């Protein structure tokens, strides 16, 4: 009795998943997910259906290749194939293999399908395994030892970079110590100094690229009367960029009036560590419903401090960099107070983190019970893998 019921439910579930996949394909095709504030169609599916990211990924993978696998899709709709089975096929099977796998999947388990897909000859089989580069380190009381194993070409790149940095250091050294007596002159910089200079140069470049990164700082200059800001030695910022950058003053803001600096804002607007911990304690992830990001969060001022908003718990929420930028560029709207946050998409529709799931109002899909694939021991010796067709040549 129980197994009969399981079979009936399994058939219905397959049919339901089949329909879910069709709907997702339609949402994706119309790019409807962008308006919801979600980062991706998979993110939207995970959020609105309350699924793991793995399951959501399977759904979007199948949805993305629905046109290529009409028979597999139809079998799902009729309750005869499961989402995971079709997911394996859509994940890696070659174009044109719909019929082949629709037949195979009728009897093959998910694992057997994985094997079958792996047996497909690949157009570009790697002649040799890639040599493995590696970086390892071990520490003793005083030092850490790094072992860097690189392919010759990468190694040559490192050599050249080190040589260039060493040369620059030696030039600076000669310039700085030209007049010094030979006994007081520090030793010439070597490979170690060149290596550290290389690291710092890379780090500086990263600072320029990711101003909000945890280990980076940028400097901005803000004219308090004109409400204009520019990056230090860099370009003028738009209003949105200025408010975004100065919202969580992880950057160092210098205030100017009539062209004169009147002070640095780092200490006043910065969310100090205590406040930040309190914010994390209140809500440890990005405040946008369905996001869940926990890394590199910015403290966003609900009322920007330019407009008199205080830097305190009631006026701050943590946002991931993506949603923080999206808010400041008008993609979503976040309004306080922090305890009763409202987040709306660009149509003004409120976003909530609840899944869309509700008790069914329609009868379940009318499909026959499904007892799953037979999953008999597969004899791969006799299995004929799908042979991808060579691409048509335009001669």
Residue 121 CB, nearest approach to Zn ion (Å): 42
CA distance 304 to 379: 67
Assess 323 for contact with Zn ion (CB under 5 A).
yes
Q: Determine the Cα–Cα distance for residues 189 and 170; give it in Å rounded to an integer.
A: 6
CB nearer to Zn ion: give 247 or 367: 247
- Within 273-312, the residues that bind Zn ion by CB under 5 A are 286, 288, 291, 293, 300
Q: How far is the CB of 212 from Zn ion (least distance, A)?
A: 11
- What is the 8-class DSSP label of residue 388? P
Check binding of 59 to Zn ion (CB under 5 A).
no
Give whichever of 104 and 291 is closer to Zn ion, judged by the CB atom. Answer: 291
Contacts with 11 (C-beta within 8 Å, 6 or more apart), sequence order: 79, 80, 365, 367, 368, 369, 370
Closest-CA residue to 288 (of 244, 345, 347): 345
What is the DSSP secondary structure assignment for residue 226, as one 8-state letter?
A: T
Q: Which range in 41-49, 94-102, 194-202, 321-329 contacts Zn ion by CB under 5 A?
A: 321-329
Q: Which of 16, 88, 302, 320 binds Zn ion (CB under 5 A)?
A: 320
Give 169 or 293: the residue with its C-beta nearer to Zn ion. 293
Provide, rounded to whole angstroms, the least separation between the CB of residue 220 and Zn ion: 14
How near is the Cβ of 246 to Zn ion at its closest, in Å? Answer: 9
Nearer to Zn ion, 14 or 243 (CB): 243
Report, in Å, the least distance between residue 20 CB and Zn ion. 24
CB nearer to Zn ion: pick between 51 and 169: 51
336 and 369 in contact (C-beta within 8 Å)? Answer: no
| Long-range contact set of residues 318-322: C-beta below 8 Å, sequence gap at least 24 | 318/279, 318/280, 318/283, 318/284, 318/285, 318/286, 318/287, 319/286, 319/287, 319/288, 320/286, 320/288, 320/291, 320/293, 320/295, 320/296, 321/212, 321/296, 321/297, 322/39, 322/293
* Residue among 294 and 387 whose Cβ is closer to Zn ion: 294
Q: Which residue lies nearer to Zn ion by CB, 128 or 295?
A: 295
CB of 288 to Zn ion, least distance (A): 4
Subset of residues 217 to 256 that bind Zn ion, contact rule: CB under 5 A: 247
CA distance 171 to 163: 12
3-state DSSP assignment of residue 317: strand
Shortest distance, CB of residue 324 to Zn ion, whole angstroms?
5
Q: How far is the CB of 297 from Zn ion (least distance, A)?
A: 8
Q: Which stretch binds Zn ion (CB under 5 A): 59-67, 162-170, 317-325, 368-376?
A: 317-325
> Residue holding tokens 């998979």?
42
Scored b (16 or more CB within 10 A) or e, 355-374 reads eeeeeeeeeebebeebeebe
- Distances 24 to 27, 35, 72, 288, 305 between C-alpha atoms, Å: 5, 15, 16, 22, 41
Q: Which residues pair with 261 in a beta bridge?
A: 256
**CB closer to Zn ion out of 79 and 290:** 290
- Nearer to Zn ion (CB atom), residue 28 or residue 248: 248
State the number of binding residues for Zn ion (CB under 5 A): 8
* Shortest distance, position 81 Cβ to Zn ion, whole Å: 35
CB 114 within 8 A of CB 375: no
Q: Closer to Zn ion by CB, 75 or 291: give it.
A: 291
- For 183, 185, 200, the CA distances from 172, given in Å and listed in that order, are 18, 13, 16
Q: How far is the CB of 308 from Zn ion (least distance, A)?
A: 15
Instruction: Using CB under 5 A, list all residues that contact Zn ion.
Output: 247, 286, 288, 291, 293, 300, 320, 323
């Amino acid at each position: 009795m129980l197994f009969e019921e399981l079979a009936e439910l399994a058939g219905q579930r397959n049919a339901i998943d089949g329909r879910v996949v069709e709907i997702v394909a339609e949402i994706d095709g119309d790019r409807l997910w962008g308006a919801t504030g979600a980062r991706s169609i998979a993110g939207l599916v995970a959020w609105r259906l309350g699924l793991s990211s793995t399951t959501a990924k399977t759904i979007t993978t199948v949805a993305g290749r629905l046109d290529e696998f009409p028979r597999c899709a139809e079998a799902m709709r009729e309750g005869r194939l499961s989402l995971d089975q079709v997911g394996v096929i859509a994940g890696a099977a070659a174009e044109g293999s719909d019929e082949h796998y629709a037949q195979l999947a009728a009897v093959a388990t998910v694992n057997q399908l994985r094997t079958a897909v792996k047996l497909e000859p690949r157009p570009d089989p790697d002649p040799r395994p890639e040599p493995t580069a590696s970086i390892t380190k071990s520490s003793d009381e005083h030092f850490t030892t790094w072992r860097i194993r690189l392919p010759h070409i990468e190694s040559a790149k490192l050599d050249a970079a080190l040589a260039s940095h060493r040369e620059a250091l030696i030039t600076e050294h000669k310039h700085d110590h030209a007049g010094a007596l030979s006994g007081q002159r520090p030793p010439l910089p070597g490979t170690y100094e060149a290596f550290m200079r290389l690291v710092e140069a890379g780090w500086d470049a990263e600072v320029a690229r990711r101003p909000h990164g945890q280990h980076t700082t940028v400097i901005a200059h803000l004219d308090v009367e004109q409400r204009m800001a520019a990056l230090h030695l860099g370009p003028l910022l738009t209003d949105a960029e200025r408010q975004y950058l100065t919202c969580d003053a992880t950057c160092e803001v210098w205030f100017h009036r009539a062209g004169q600096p009147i002070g640095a804002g780092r200490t006043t607007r910065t969310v100090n560590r205590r406040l930040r911990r309190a914010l994390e304690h209140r809500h440890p992830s990005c405040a946008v419903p369905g996001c869940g990001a926990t890394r590199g969060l910015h403290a966003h001022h609900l009322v920007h401090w330019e407009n008199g908003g205080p830097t305190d718990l009631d006026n701050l929420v943590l946002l991931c960099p993506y949603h923080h930028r999206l808010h400041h560029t008008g993609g979503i709207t976040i309004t306080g107070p922090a305890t009763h946050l409202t987040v709306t998409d660009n149509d003004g529709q409120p976003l909530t983190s609840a899944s869309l799931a509700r008790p069914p109002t329609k009868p379940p899909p009318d499909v026959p019970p499904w007892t799953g694939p037979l999953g008999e021991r597969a004899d791969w010796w006799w299995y004929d893998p799908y042979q991808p067709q060579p691409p048509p040549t335009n001669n």
